[in-house]
């Protein structure tokens, strides 16, 4: 268990005696890890730690946003590193996991042996605008129509904010 009532799920793969350790930092937010994520490393030479971030995958409670901040996620990784008695590890992050890996590395530079960053997304305004405010519609117009199709005409002006409001509503019928 970690702070704010969250319980993170993790699993260790590979060689338990390996001196080289990797942390796989999944994307999302909201995704999770799959066992095949460990395949990025030679399992005979590496110990690989897969963690489902707060509210994601097999972590509990699923979808909970309270206390789910970048700083809290960084603290979770650091607490897990200490719990597993790992001196240093390399981070492999994809998409949102890139931003989170960089935040961890900036906070704990003495605990990071290296970074592998793929599908770089730093959650800058221009990237958020591209993903959620129409840029992607130029490449995937049908998918964009389906994405916005669940929203009222007024909500379609800002789909990201509208989906956030729906997902965090106290009203169960609004969330469904």
Q: For residue 8, is pLDDT > 90?
A: yes
Residues 86, 140 share a domain:
no
User: Per the structure, how many domains does the chain have?
Assistant: 2
26 and 89 share one domain: yes
Model pLDDT for residues 59-103, shown as the tens digit of each residue: 999 888 889 999 999 999 999 999 999 999 999 999 999 999 999
CB-CB contact of 133 with 155 (8 Å):
no
User: So what's the pLDDT on residue 85?
Assistant: 98
Q: Are residues 66 and 22 in the same domain?
A: yes
What confidence score (pLDDT) does residue 102 get?
98
Mean pLDDT of 18-43: 94
- Domain of residue 157: give its range: 126-175
Are residues 132 and 115 both part of a single domain?
Answer: no
Q: Give the CATH number for residue 114.
A: 3.40.50.1820
Q: What is the side-by-side order of every strand in the sheet holding 46-52?
A: 9-14, 46-52, 20-25, 89-95, 112-120
Boundary residue ending a domain (77, 104, 122): 122
- Statement: residue 176 has pLDDT above 80: no
* Prediction pTM value: 0.84
Judge if the upstream peptide bond of residue 70 is cis by omega within 30 degrees of 0.
Answer: no
Q: Where are the alpha helices (DSSP H) in the chain?
A: 70-83, 96-107, 125-132, 141-148, 159-167, 172-175
Asked whether the beta carbons of 59 and 8 are under 8 A apart, the reply is: yes
Mean pLDDT of 139-164: 93
Residues 68 and 91 in one domain: yes
Residue at which a domain ends, from 81, 98, 122 = 122
The reply to whether 132 and 94 lie within a common domain is: no
> Does the pLDDT of residue 58 top 90, yes or no?
yes
Using CA atoms, how far residue 145 sits from 62, 64, 91, 136, in Å, is: 28, 28, 36, 11
> Do 96 and 170 share a domain, yes or no?
no
Phi, psi for residue 46 in degrees, rounded to 5: -125, 145
Quote the pLDDT of residue 161. Answer: 92
**Torsion sign (Cα): 12, 15, 16, 22:** negative
């Amino acid at each position: 268990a970690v702070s704010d009532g969250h319980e993170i799920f993790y699993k260790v793969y590979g060689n338990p005696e390996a001196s080289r350790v990797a942390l796989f930092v999944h994307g999302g937010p909201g995704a999770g890890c799959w066992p095949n994520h460990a395949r990025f490393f030679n399992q005979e030479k590496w110990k690989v730690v897969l963690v489902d971030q707060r509210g994601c995958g097999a972590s509990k409670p699923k979808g909970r946003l309270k206390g789910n901040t970048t700083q809290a996620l960084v603290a979770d990784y650091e607490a897990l590193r200490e719990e597993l008695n790992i001196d240093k590890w390399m981070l492999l992050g994809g998409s949102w996991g890139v931003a989170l890996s960089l935040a961890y590395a900036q906070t704990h530079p003495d605990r990071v042996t290296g970074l592998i960053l793929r599908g770089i997304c730093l959650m800058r305004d221009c990237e958020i605008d591209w993903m959620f405010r129409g840029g992607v519609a130029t490449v995937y117009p049908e998918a964009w129509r389906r994405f916005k199709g669940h929203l009222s005409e007024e909500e379609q002006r800002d789909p990201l904010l509208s989906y956030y409001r729906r997902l965090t509503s106290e009203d169960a019928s609004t969330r469904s």
